[in-house]
């Protein structure tokens, strides 16, 4: 695919591209080859305020929040169509911006994004409200949009993560202000334009690029934002909770990474497949995935480990990085130089703590001007090592061993994270037993990252406090109203109605 795609770096506010009020911009360079892409608006507190005011105005006007459901649905269908019409442009833009292979981006992020929008749209007129069973009056329990949603998104799946948040929040009738990651903003900016073209009224979807500590913080602190939906690091999630507590106490919905244990039991149905998928689980998207299978747990048996790991190593070759604009490429560049350095530091730190290098461990294509790192497998990793506890977010697999099922469960659950886990076994009882024991929001049995839009996604423990996708994904973007309509029955005081009330 060609690099001719032109990138727009301005904010998209109230239905048009605008420059940041201060005129401040920052340069965006491609991680593929270090070439300049475009200047991006560095929105500040005033820009955020302007975007939030516009979003509030649009919400209160009812132009979107009160639009007939069929119409709202058609607009989102149209948005999905426009995404498909622009799929090549979006995929190339995403690849240039954050380094992922264009073929996978086209299929998963862009076409997957259009599919997700359609799924959210289809739900719009299929989610019913509730009536209380009480006969003393009419008790209506209705869902309403929460109002103005502030969405702060990450750089690893910039378009797709924006779609999860924007698609479900818009479907419920909210107005949304999105602050994309400064490390990959381009496709989200384009999403604002496409949504407007599709018929999303002005002010309903605002895109405000900029630095996290400026634009993100201003959105997190704004008292006219009704909730924050965030995907990113632990540290930032805590900052956002602090901003909320210091301002209007808005709910902060968080997805903050993972340290997925991928447990292979000797009784796995198909060890060849388990090895192939274990490589994909960590090397897909260069390991820059919150649910990446970064910890491979194998039984403490030398022969088993040798046979299994040699298979994983063979499959890892498939994920060697090179020019992600080549349609055959399965892995591209890491997002930037700082991240490449971070990944290198993690590997060196693990070696210093006693892990061994089984394969990889080197920078690739150093003369390209881009940031490529080999698929890397470390053996001899123990639960106390930093690499076994912290999210690397790179193509680095840590191999750990367990004594028995109980030990595997203990190691798998032994981190602060709880986003996902995977189990390979042919024993039905074990599959259920271990699934139940996993302290993670997602469990995949004899597969990795199984499921579709009907399955909620989110984490236990410090991996987060919310679920995206499925019907549960709508909850954070709505609130419940209880409306009681008296029927004029001759009951002066209904004591039951008040029992337990504070």
Q: Are strands 137-145 and 130-131 parallel, antiparallel or unpaired?
A: antiparallel
Residue with smaller CB distance to ligand ADP, 216 or 458: 216
User: What number of other Cβ atoms are within 10 A of residue 499's Cβ?
Assistant: 7
Distance CA 382, CA 373 (A): 23
What is the C-alpha separation between 130 and 143, in angstroms, rounded? 9
From the list 9, 15, 147, 154, which residue makes contact with ligand ADP (rule: CB under 6 A)? Answer: 154
- What does each C-alpha distance from 11 to 20, 99, 157, 231, 323 come to in angstroms? 7, 22, 19, 20, 29
Note the Cα 310 to chain centre separation in Å: 32
Q: Which of residues 233, 353, 413, 472 is near ligand ADP by CB under 6 A?
A: 233
The DSSP output letter for 400 is E
Contact segment (CB under 6 A) with ligand ADP among 179-187, 395-403, 436-444, 461-469 equals: 179-187
Using CB under 6 A as the binding rule, whether residue 181 contacts ligand ADP is answered as yes
Residues that are catalytic: 255, 290
Assess 244 for contact with ligand ADP (CB under 6 A): no
What residues between 433 and 452 interact with ligand ADP by CB under 6 A?
none
SS3 per-residue string spanning 405-463:
HHHHHHHHCCCCCCCEEEEECCCHHHHHHHHHHCCCCEEEECCCCCCCCCCCECCCHHH
Q: Which is nearer to ligand ADP, 42 or 453 (CB)?
A: 42
**Smallest distance, Å, CB 210 to ligand ADP?**
8
DSSP state of 200: P
CB of 131 to ligand ADP, least distance (A): 40
Residue 90 or 219 having the CB closest to ligand ADP: 219
Residue whose entry in the numeric block shows the structure tokens 């929008």? 117
Nearer to ligand ADP, 216 or 361 (CB): 216
Nearest distance from C-beta of residue 215 to ligand ADP, angstroms: 7
Our finding on whether 80 is near ligand ADP (CB under 6 A) is: no
221 binds ligand ADP (CB under 6 A): no
- 406-415 in b/e burial notation, b at 16+ Cβ within 10 A? eebbebbbbb
The site map against ligand ADP for 183-212 (x = CB under 6 A) is: -----------------------------x
Q: Which is nearer to ligand ADP, 233 or 389 (CB)?
A: 233
- Smallest gap from residue 96 Cβ to ligand ADP (A): 18
Q: What are the DSSP E strand ranges found in 180-289?
A: 205-207, 227-231, 252-255, 261-264
Give the H or E element holding residue 13: strand 11-13
Determine the Cα–Cα distance for residues 48 and 194; give it in Å rounded to an integer. 21
Q: Shortest distance, CB of residue 53 to ligand ADP, whole angstroms?
A: 19
**153 contributes a contact to ligand ADP by CB under 6 A:** yes
* 239 near ligand ADP (CB under 6 A): yes
Site for ligand ADP contains 336 (CB under 6 A)? no
When the beta carbons of 211 and 304 are compared against ligand ADP, the nearer one is 211
Site residues for ligand ADP per CB under 6 A = 152-155, 179, 181-182, 212-213, 216-217, 220, 232-233, 236, 239-240
């Amino acid at each position: 695919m060609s690099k001719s795609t032109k990138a727009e770096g301005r904010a998209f506010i109230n239905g048009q591209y605008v420059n940041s009020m201060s005129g401040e911009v920052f340069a965006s360079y491609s991680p593929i080859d270090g070439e300049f892409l475009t200047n991006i608006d560095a929105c500040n507190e005033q820009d955020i305020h302007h975007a939030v005011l516009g979003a509030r105005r649009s919400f209160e006007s009812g132009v979107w929040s009160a639009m007939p459901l069929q119409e709202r649905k058609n607009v989102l269908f149209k948005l999905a169509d426009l995404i498909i019409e622009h799929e090549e442009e979006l995929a190339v833009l995403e690849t240039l911006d954050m380094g992922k292979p264009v073929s996978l981006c086209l299929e998963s992020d862009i076409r997957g994004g259009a599919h997700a929008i359609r799924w959210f749209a289809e739900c719009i007129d299929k989610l019913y409200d509730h009536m209380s069973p009480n006969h003393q009056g009419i008790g209506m329990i209705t869902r309403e949009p929460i109002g103005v949603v502030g969405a702060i998104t990450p750089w690893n799946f910039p378009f797709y993560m924006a779609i999860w948040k924007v698609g479900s929040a818009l479907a419920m009738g909210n107005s949304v202000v999105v602050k994309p990651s400064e490390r990959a903003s381009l496709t989200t900016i384009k999403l604002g334009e496409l949504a407007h073209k599709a018929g999303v009224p002005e002010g309903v979807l605002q895109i405000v690029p900029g630095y996290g500590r400026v634009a993100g913080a201003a959105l997190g602190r704004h008292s006219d934002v009704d909730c924050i939906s965030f995907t990113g690091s632990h540290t930032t999630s805590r900052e956002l909770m602090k901003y909320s507590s210091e301002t209007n106490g808005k709910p902060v919905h968080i997805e903050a990474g993972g340290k997925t244990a991928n447990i292979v039991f000797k009784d796995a149905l198909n060890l060849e497949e388990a090895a192939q998928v274990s490589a994909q689980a960590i090397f897909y998207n260069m390991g820059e995935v919150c649910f990446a299978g970064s910890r491979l747990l194998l039984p403490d048996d030398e022969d088993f480990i040798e046979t299994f790991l040699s298979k994983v190593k063979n499959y890892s070759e498939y994920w060697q990085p090179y020019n992600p604009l080549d349609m055959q490429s399965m892995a591209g560049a890491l997002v930037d130089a700082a991240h490449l350095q971070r990944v290198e530091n993690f590997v060196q730190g693990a070696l210093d703590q006693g892990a061994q290098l089984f394969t990889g461990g080197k920078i690739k294509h150093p003369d390209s001007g881009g940031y490529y790192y080999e698929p890397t497998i470390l053996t001899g990793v123990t639960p106390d090592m930093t690499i076994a506890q912290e999210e690397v977010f790179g193509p680095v697999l840590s191999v750990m061993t367990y004594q028995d099922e109980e030990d595997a469960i203990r190691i798998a659950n032994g981190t602060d994270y709880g986003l996902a886990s995977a189990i390979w076994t042919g024993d039905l009882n074990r599959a259920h037993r271990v699934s139940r024991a996993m302290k993670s929001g997602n469990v995949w049995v004899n597969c990795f990252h199984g499921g579709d839009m009907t399955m909620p996604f989110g984490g236990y423990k410090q991996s987060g406090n919310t679920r995206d996708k499925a019907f549960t994904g709508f909850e954070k973007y709505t609130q419940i109203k209880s409306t009681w309509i008296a029927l004029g029955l001759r009951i002066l005081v209904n004591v039951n109605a008040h029992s337990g009330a504070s």
